[in-house]
Amino acid sequence: MAETQYSERPRPESESEVEWHARSLEEIYETVESSKTGLDSEEASDRLERYGPNEVETDSGASPLRIFLEQYTSVLIWVLIVAAGVMAAIGETIDAGVIAGIVVFITLFGFAQDYRAEQSIQALAELSTTYAMARRDGEKTEIDATRVVPGDVIFVDSGDVIPADARLLESSNLRVDESILTGESISVTKTPETLPDDVTIAERKNVLHKDTVVERGSGIAVVVETGPETEIGQIATALEEADERDTPFQAELDRLGKIIAAAVIGVVTMIAVAELVIGDTEPVQVFMTAVAVAVSAVPEGLPAVVTLSLALGARRMAEQNALVRRLPIVEALGSVDVICTDKTGTLTEEEMTVTRLAANREIYDVTGTGYDTDGEIRHDGESVDVDRLEKLLCCGLLCNDVELGRREDRNESASKDGELAYLGDPTEISLFVAAQKAGFDHTELRKRYPRVGELEFTSERKRMTTLHETPDGGHVAYTKGAPEVVLERCTREYVDGEIVDLTEDRRAEIEARTESFAEDALRVMGFAFTPDAAETIPEDDERDLVFLGLQGMLDPPRPEVAGALEGCLNAGIGVVMITGDNATTARAVGREIGLESARILTGPELEELSEGELAEVVEDVDIFARTSPEHKTQILQTLQRKGHTVAMTGDGVNDAPAIKNADVGVAMGIRGTDVTEQASDIVLLDDNFATIRDAVRQGRRIFDNVRKFVNYFLSANGAHVLLLFSGIMSGAGLVMTPIMFLWINVITDGIPALTLGVDPEADDVMDRPPRPPGEGVITDRIMSSIGGIAVLITATLLPLFYYYNQVVGDLVVAQTMVFTAFVFMAIARIGAIRTRYGLGPFSNNRWLVGAIALTLTLQLLVLYTPLSVLFGVTPLSVGHWLQIGLVVAVFSILMAGFVALQDRYFDRY
């Protein structure tokens, strides 16, 4: 069907903003014009025509043609193209060919890098839904998921991907993984009860959302929204509407190109007027002079050096698990002064871990983190006899649905190549691992105590009970669940191998212990057993249980996060945790990683603030809890309006708009969705906050290096223009030919500049504050360098040129002397620039030493081989070299004094 056929979906306006979770089932049926029996085929076909296919269109990425054409958006490129055209028009085909070759190299190099980054992200697995089970014509029918329409009654089972947004009609122990939408890893229990209007998306337990995954159980639901009208569809639409924004560096390069173009036009106009009107110069010579000015003013090698430097930085970041999707964003990282980060999986392991036990009227600590079974159980710092905890741990292991298997399509607790992984709910996995740390073998234990019955966990019961046959032919029942629910069903307590009465005082002590666990941000579960159980378990008949104890678990912080966060704070970068978890858990995690917030703001509190009120407090809040993705966008925009450069992390589909609008959008590569990755600038391949810190470090290093070679290039080009202009206006003549300027710009300046891009970082790179948002690459100091060095070079080289051209009367020797001296002056300029960053003139960069040796060798080849004919130069004698050495020495001394003067009046960088 044609795409335009569905450009307008005639859904009634009253339907477009329906709070489906707050409607009764009768109202739902009436609104979608359906019933529990579903639709017939004819009606479904009509609705497919009316509403369109159940598809969410997302950005498929840039085409190769678009990537290639984007390489020609730089003003500098077009200045070179015009220069090549002029040279070709006046018959200077060699010069025109050299300039055209440079343009082709720059554009092809940029295309190759951008295309490679685009292919890398396209290679990430895409989410797709293929089939859905719906009731059509009164029968269960498997249909293409794109043909699901509002009013369809659908059936979902464990492992299914939900095909559309649907209101739940019936459920059986239904739990859904909604991390794609909410970013939270814990699955959600789904039930059909009607809910209040004001619950968040994460709390809408009676609604199934498109592209979320059924983790266990089954359900029946009626479809209420399809395609772009679903929650994920609306997010994709918002994503398409988000503006693409240039990084500050892109904007600055564009501005620089326009300035250079304007300067070229101005200088050429002045020279043309002077030579054509005042003087008596041939028009062809005026054209040659104009091209020489253009070539001298344009830093031809700058786009290539910038691209290569960013590409090398991107490659280094990829080696550190940060995949860069847009090269210019590498530089933008250096100006980030606020990082808004998720908690789950980024600051924490995203692997629930049992850390504390309560049994035998004592407290025990469990070491180790995540799903690694290395760890032990301690009491007062000493290892304990695990036999004392056998009943509690075995209860957690046997009353548990976790299995060991192979999972290749998800990363949770699995290693590469489909190795064994824990399959099941994260909370149950933590109980499973805790028992393994104590040495209990699940295979052997489940053989000894085979399960013969169970009462499943539901959100109403808040507990689970399993019945097992014992080796002697009897039965034992194990129960786990919410501590208060389990405790109220217990009349006895298990203490050091004995069953004793559970007194009211002990009951109160256990309740207090549960509260203390919760205050430490632990998720607490209670455990009990029935030693002499019947052969069957009557429904809701868990009574007269024996209380075994408590297990407290949490998602522990990643061990490297505390150091990474401290490094960010020392670098003047604010870190803001934004989580859907409760404030208590967020505060506890923040405390462990060193994020001590004076104020925590929750989502409901944020909604009560006006835009102005939020702006007043946003910089004082380090932790936002109970937030939705919409809150993320609100926080981001408020910080940006306050003048901050913000990096925003996210993984769920509805994080995508915030990531798209952030100054630096960071997606999670492991648990992130395809839509979020497409919206991002950087994808973290390990979902680790420390990787963000490392990326910022690399961004600052790269920006320093970009600043070095921009200074290096533009100071040379400023000298080119002033030297050429002064020579022409003074009547001395054309100081250097266009091909000489090209040689200096692309080869003798370009090759060393490339190696500046791999300079090591300065010692203080993470000790200085982020650069102000309005501060670009070209600072007042660099502007003074461009002007000052231009004056110094002109003052030392113009007399040399004048002497050989006017006194000696040999223009070729004069141009050769200036040409060669300029190349050697570049070495002195490199040393001065690097010294400012705490580096020796040529230390810590073997590539730079090699590049300088190469450029000097190439210069000698130009002078002493047949290439001299092409460049219009002549071999130099020993006397000539001594004079060049003297001029370069004088320049170096003057430049050293100039740099010292700069240090008095300008900042270091």
Cα distances (angstroms) measured from residue 598 to each of 106, 572, 611, 622, 642: 51, 18, 21, 8, 20
- The span from the CA of 96 to the CA of 88, in Å, is 5
Q: Which of 395, 499, 370 is nearest to 445 (CA)?
A: 395
Helix (H, G, I), strand (E, B) or coil at 584: helix
Assigned token pair, 193: 């009860």
Pairing of strands 165-177, 188-189: antiparallel
Are the C-beta atoms of 704 and 837 separated by less than 8 Å? yes
Cα distances (angstroms) measured from residue 330 to each of 180, 304, 318, 568, 744: 27, 16, 11, 17, 28
- The span from the CA of 351 to the CA of 373, in Å, is 12
Cα distances (angstroms) measured from residue 186 to each of 202, 401, 428, 594, 610: 11, 15, 11, 25, 32
Cα distances (angstroms) measured from residue 411 to each of 158, 185, 215, 341, 684: 18, 12, 15, 20, 14
Question: Of residues 114, 160, 342, 622, which has the active-site annotation?
Answer: 342
Are the C-beta atoms of 451 and 466 separated by less than 8 Å? yes
Tell me which amino acid residue 466 is.
Answer: T
3-state SS of 284-332 is HHHHHHHHHHHHHHCCCCHHHHHHHHHHHHHHHHHHCCEEECCCCHHHH
Q: Quick one: how many helices (H) and strands (E) in the chain?
A: 32, 28
Cβ neighbors of 144 (< 8 A, separation 6 or more) are: 130, 131, 132
Q: Which residue has the tokens 């989410």?
A: 127
Cβ neighbors of 889 (< 8 A, separation 6 or more) are: none
Is the C-alpha dihedral spanning 502, 504, 507, 513 positive or negative? Answer: negative
Q: Which residue has the tokens 């200096």?
A: 744
Pairing of strands 545-554, 490-495: parallel
Helix (H, G, I), strand (E, B) or coil at 262: helix
CA angle 687, 640, 74 (to 5 degrees): 85
- The span from the CA of 884 to the CA of 621, in Å, is 62
Please give the full DSSP string across 615-634, using - where no structure is assigned.
HHHGGG-SEEES--HHHHHH
Q: Which of 197, 202, 118 is nearest to 678 (CA)?
A: 118
Residues 430-440, buried b or exposed e (16+ Cβ, 10 A)?
Answer: bbbbbbbbbeb
Assigned token pair, 201: 């998306």
Active site residue 342: yes
- The span from the CA of 444 to the CA of 432, in Å, is 14
What positions carry a catalytic annotation? 342
